[in-house]
Amino acid sequence: MKQVSSRMAPAGYILVILLLWELAVRLFHIPLYILPAPTAIAAALGEEWPVLASHGAVTVLEALAGILISLILALALGILMDRFPAVQRGIYPLLVVTQTVPMIVLAPILIIYMGFGPGPKILTVVLMCFFPVAVSFSDGLSRVDEEYVHLVRSYGAGKWGAYRLVKIPAALPALLSGLKVAATYSISGAVVGEWIGSQQGLGYYLLRVKNGYMLDKVFACVAVIIGLSLCMNGAVRLLGRICLPYERKRRK
């Protein structure tokens, strides 16, 4: 019961906020173009659902492609940084520098070089998602007890065999932690790329309804973006439960 109540508490707070929001809009007669009521947003969501679903599918595909590329690059670079300290000393500062540049600045440059296709949107997702995955995985590898590595090496495993048998499995919890962050950012990264230049996707839809001052549809699109981001995070959590059942037992 305590677990159920703790999980229901955020939903209760959200419900209270929505009720206060609805009352404020109705009592103070706030116009739709300034702040739509939650009921108006829900109505717009139901009305625009086929269009939002179509644009959302494009955004999700771009986000999934970006996460997959980020994961492959993070695995390769994480192992290289752990295996060769000189690589870590040279690459890690560059990774930090890439996070100081806002994506809203890089997205137009990517479109200039790569056009208006899906490439710039996927690369925007990669730039937003690669850093947390790579850093988490690299930290996970560095924290593995070397005694386990020496043990498998004593049985004849090579250097890369030690990674396959010991280091990578031990670093999976850290990798999944980075993936949770990256998955949450992935939808936003795709939307930023679509916002700058696109003919489809939630970013394109959001820009179109914003220019028409249709704030109920703007908030409906934002709600879809939030929902998709939570679904991406939940998918990684589910993957963690499947791949790491011992972590679930440890939390219990």
Tokens (6 digits) for 163: 């990674």
In the chain, DSSP finds a helix count (H) and a strand count (E) of 12, 0
Residue 109: predicted pLDDT: 82
Task: Return the pLDDT at 251.
Answer: 53
pLDDT at 67: 94
pLDDT digits (tens, 9 = 90+) for 27-84: 998 888 888 999 999 999 999 999 999 999 999 999 999 999 999 999 999 999 888 8
Per-residue pLDDT of 188-243, as tens digits, reads: 889 988 887 778 899 999 989 988 888 999 999 999 999 999 999 999 999 888 88
Q: What is the pLDDT of residues 80-111, one digit of tens each?
A: 988 888 888 888 888 888 777 777 777 778 87
Please give the model's pTM, rounded to 2 decimal places.
0.86
Say how many Å lie between the first and final Cα of the chain, rounded.
Answer: 14
Encode pLDDT of 121-176 as tens digits: 899 899 889 989 998 998 898 888 888 888 888 878 787 888 888 888 889 999 99
Residue 129 and residue 67 in contact, taking contact as beta carbons nearer than 8 Å = yes
Nearest 5°: the CA angle 54, 57, 59 is 115
SS3 32: coil
Question: Looking at this protein, which amino acid is placed at residue 21?
Answer: W
Q: Dig out the tokens for 147 from the structure.
A: 């005694």
Report yes or no: 116 and 197 within 8 Å, Cβ to Cβ.
yes
Question: Each residue of 176-196: pLDDT tens digit?
Answer: 999 999 998 899 889 988 887
Sequence letter at residue 97: V
What is the model's pLDDT at position 149?
A: 84
Is pLDDT of 5 > 70?
no
Sign of the dihedral through C-alpha 124, 128, 134, 140:
negative
Give the pLDDT score at 249.
54
Q: Which residues contact 136 (CB under 8 A, 6 or more apart)?
A: 174, 175, 177, 178, 179, 181
**Mind giving me the DSSP string for 84-139?**
-HHHHHHHHHHHHHHTTS-HHHHHHHHHHHHTTSHHHHHHHHHHHHHHHHHHHHHH
- Distance (Å, whole) CA 110 – CA 150: 45
